[in-house]
Amino acid sequence: MNRVLDTAALLHWPVPELTGGICAYSQLDELASVSETRSLLLESAPIEWRAVPPQWLEDAKAVASASGDLPRLSDVDMDVLALAVGLSLELVTDDYRLQNAFKHHGGTVRSVNTKGAKQVWKWELRCTGCRATFPVPKDAKRAKRGAVGECERCGSPTEIKRMKKR
């Protein structure tokens, strides 16, 4: 069964369950940094390792920007999302940001060890000073936490916040 596998599946699923999975080459380094033994085991597993075409990565940035998840996704997350978007396949991940971005795009998601995201949220940038809100741009700074830019109006830091229903 063809589907895009996030690193959580590579770490937790038995090897036969990974058969037919598609993964990004960048996941190999992530996997090795978490579990060298598991990494060595999966080198011979029936997984299709792929390079991510630049256009697919641009498409994934647009998808993650549209949902507002872009600033909190890592480079490896972006590669996984790009494969799922580019191939239009089910995405297997426990990462709620990846689930949210791909569901927002209309994709199908399956969890590895969690119940999965129950809702699809939209995120926006909110100024910590003047409280102005902005859509998340495709070139947003990406970091696990903290400010992701500066306010266009007052120059204060902007943070990712769930969009309020208007």
- Residue 18, pLDDT > 90, answer yes
pLDDT in tens, 46-72: 999 999 999 999 999 999 999 999 999
pLDDT in tens, 82-115: 999 999 999 999 999 999 999 999 999 999 877 7
pLDDT the model gives residue 139: 78
Q: Check residues 164 and 159 and name the one with the higher pLDDT.
A: 159
pLDDT in tens, 124-138: 899 999 999 998 887
30 neighbors 75 (Cβ within 8 angstroms): no
Q: Which residue(s) pair with 161 in the sheet? A: 124
Q: What is the pTM of this model?
A: 0.84
At residue 3, what is the residue type? Answer: R
- Residue 140, pLDDT > 70, answer yes
- Residue 40, pLDDT > 80, answer yes
Beta strands in 1-92 (DSSP E): 3-5, 21-24, 48-50, 91-92
Where does residue 81 rank: exposed (0-12), middle (13-18), buried (19+ CB within 10 A)? buried
- Residue 165, pLDDT > 70, answer no
Domain regions of the chain by residue span = 3-110, 123-162
pLDDT tier for residue 117 given thresholds of 50, 70 and 90: low
Question: Helix, strand or coil for residue 28?
Answer: helix
CATH class held by domain 3-110: alpha beta
pLDDT tier for residue 116 given thresholds of 50, 70 and 90: low
pLDDT the model gives residue 119: 75
